[in-house]
Protein backbone atom coordinates (compact mmCIF):
# COMPACT_ATOMS: atom_id res chain seq x y z
CA UNK A 1 0.00 0.00 0.00
CA UNK A 2 1.54 3.38 -0.96
CA UNK A 3 2.22 5.65 1.99
CA UNK A 4 -0.03 8.39 0.63
CA UNK A 5 -3.10 6.13 0.57
CA UNK A 6 -5.60 6.17 3.44
CA UNK A 7 -4.94 3.46 5.96
CA UNK A 8 -7.50 0.73 6.53
CA UNK A 9 -9.23 0.59 9.90
CA UNK A 10 -6.78 0.51 12.78
CA UNK A 11 -6.30 -3.02 14.14
CA UNK A 12 -6.57 -3.68 17.85
CA UNK A 13 -3.18 -3.86 19.51
CA UNK A 14 -3.62 -5.00 23.12
CA UNK A 15 -0.01 -6.17 23.53
CA UNK A 16 1.43 -2.94 22.14
CA UNK A 17 -0.99 -0.86 24.22
CA UNK A 18 -0.06 -2.75 27.39
CA UNK A 19 3.65 -2.33 26.70
CA UNK A 20 3.20 1.42 26.18
CA UNK A 21 1.17 1.75 29.41
CA UNK A 22 3.73 -0.25 31.41
CA UNK A 23 6.65 1.83 30.09
CA UNK A 24 8.06 -1.15 28.19
CA UNK A 25 7.66 0.35 24.71
CA UNK A 26 10.82 0.73 22.66
CA UNK A 27 10.51 3.98 20.64
CA UNK A 28 12.17 2.19 17.71
CA UNK A 29 8.97 0.14 17.37
CA UNK A 30 6.85 3.25 16.73
CA UNK A 31 7.79 3.48 13.06
CA UNK A 32 7.03 -0.20 12.54
CA UNK A 33 3.70 0.24 14.35
CA UNK A 34 2.85 3.17 12.11
CA UNK A 35 3.65 1.19 8.97
CA UNK A 36 2.08 -2.11 10.05
CA UNK A 37 0.42 -2.15 13.46
CA UNK A 38 -0.90 -5.67 12.94
CA UNK A 39 2.60 -7.06 12.26
CA UNK A 40 4.24 -5.42 15.30
CA UNK A 41 1.33 -6.61 17.46
CA UNK A 42 1.90 -10.20 16.32
CA UNK A 43 5.67 -9.88 16.73
CA UNK A 44 5.47 -8.52 20.27
CA UNK A 45 2.75 -10.98 21.26
CA UNK A 46 5.10 -13.76 20.21
CA UNK A 47 8.01 -12.16 22.10
CA UNK A 48 6.11 -11.89 25.40
CA UNK A 49 4.34 -15.23 25.11
CA UNK A 50 6.88 -17.16 27.23
CA UNK A 51 6.55 -14.61 30.03
CA UNK A 52 2.76 -14.82 30.02
CA UNK A 53 2.88 -18.62 30.28
CA UNK A 54 4.70 -18.19 33.62
CA UNK A 55 6.84 -21.28 33.12
CA UNK A 56 9.90 -19.37 34.31
CA UNK A 57 9.88 -17.49 37.59
CA UNK A 58 9.92 -13.66 37.35
CA UNK A 59 13.56 -13.40 38.53
CA UNK A 60 14.73 -15.71 35.74
CA UNK A 61 12.68 -13.80 33.18
CA UNK A 62 14.31 -10.53 34.27
CA UNK A 63 17.82 -12.04 34.15
CA UNK A 64 17.21 -13.38 30.64
CA UNK A 65 15.77 -10.01 29.61
CA UNK A 66 18.91 -8.27 30.90
CA UNK A 67 21.06 -10.66 28.86
CA UNK A 68 19.02 -10.09 25.68
CA UNK A 69 18.94 -6.30 25.99
CA UNK A 70 22.64 -6.08 26.93
CA UNK A 71 23.84 -8.45 24.20
CA UNK A 72 26.11 -7.08 21.49
CA UNK A 73 23.40 -7.72 18.90
CA UNK A 74 20.81 -5.69 20.81
CA UNK A 75 22.45 -3.09 23.07
CA UNK A 76 19.19 -1.53 24.25
CA UNK A 77 20.21 0.45 27.33
CA UNK A 78 16.70 1.54 28.41
CA UNK A 79 15.65 -2.12 28.49
CA UNK A 80 18.77 -3.15 30.39
CA UNK A 81 18.06 -0.44 32.98
CA UNK A 82 14.38 -1.37 33.28
CA UNK A 83 15.11 -5.09 33.68
CA UNK A 84 17.96 -4.52 36.16
CA UNK A 85 15.65 -2.37 38.28
CA UNK A 86 12.87 -4.96 38.16
CA UNK A 87 15.33 -7.80 38.95
CA UNK A 88 16.67 -5.92 41.96
CA UNK A 89 13.12 -5.20 43.13
CA UNK A 90 12.38 -8.94 42.89
CA UNK A 91 15.37 -9.73 45.13
CA UNK A 92 18.02 -10.61 42.55
CA UNK A 93 21.44 -9.68 43.94
CA UNK A 94 23.88 -7.27 42.34
CA UNK A 95 26.28 -10.21 42.00
CA UNK A 96 23.69 -12.24 40.04
CA UNK A 97 23.05 -9.34 37.65
CA UNK A 98 26.80 -8.85 37.26
CA UNK A 99 27.24 -12.55 36.45
CA UNK A 100 24.58 -12.28 33.72
CA UNK A 101 26.31 -9.22 32.24
CA UNK A 102 29.66 -11.02 32.36
CA UNK A 103 28.23 -14.10 30.66
CA UNK A 104 26.56 -11.95 28.02
CA UNK A 105 29.76 -10.01 27.32
CA UNK A 106 31.45 -13.09 25.87
CA UNK A 107 29.13 -12.90 22.85
CA UNK A 108 31.44 -10.20 21.54
CA UNK A 109 34.42 -12.57 21.53
CA UNK A 110 33.02 -14.12 18.37
CA UNK A 111 34.03 -10.97 16.48
CA UNK A 112 37.64 -11.74 17.35
CA UNK A 113 37.25 -15.47 16.72
CA UNK A 114 36.05 -14.74 13.18
CA UNK A 115 38.07 -11.62 12.43
CA UNK A 116 41.52 -12.41 13.83
CA UNK A 117 42.19 -15.51 11.65
CA UNK A 118 40.95 -13.61 8.57
CA UNK A 119 43.28 -10.74 9.43
CA UNK A 120 46.24 -13.11 9.67
CA UNK A 121 45.31 -14.84 6.38
CA UNK A 122 44.89 -11.59 4.48
CA UNK A 123 48.07 -10.05 5.92
CA UNK A 124 50.00 -13.17 4.87
CA UNK A 125 48.47 -13.08 1.36
CA UNK A 126 49.32 -9.40 1.00
CA UNK A 127 52.89 -10.04 2.11
CA UNK A 128 53.25 -12.95 -0.36
CA UNK A 129 51.31 -11.58 -3.34
CA UNK A 130 51.39 -7.79 -2.93
CA UNK A 131 48.36 -5.54 -3.36
CA UNK A 132 45.66 -6.48 -5.89
CA UNK A 133 45.45 -4.33 -8.95
CA UNK A 134 42.21 -2.43 -9.44
CA UNK A 135 40.80 -3.20 -6.01
CA UNK A 136 38.99 -0.55 -4.07
Question: Which pLDDT score is estimated for 4?
Answer: 67
Question: Tell me: the pLDDT tens digits for 7-44?
Answer: 557 789 999 999 999 988 989 899 999 999 999 999 99
Which residues 6+ apart lie within 8 Å of 88 measured at CB?
A: 94, 97
User: Model confidence over 42-82: pLDDT tens digits?
Assistant: 999 998 998 889 999 999 999 999 999 999 888 889 999 99
In sequence order, what are the residues at sequence separation of 6 or more whose Cβ sits closer than 8 angstroms to the Cβ of residue 60? none
Per domain, the residue ranges of the chain are 27-56, 57-128
The answer to whether the predicted template modeling score (pTM) of the entire model surpasses 0.75 is: no
Amino acid sequence: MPLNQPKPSTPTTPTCDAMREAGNWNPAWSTMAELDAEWIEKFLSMAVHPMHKEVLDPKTVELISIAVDASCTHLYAPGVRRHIRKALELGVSVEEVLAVLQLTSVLGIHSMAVGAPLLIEEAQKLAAEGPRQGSY
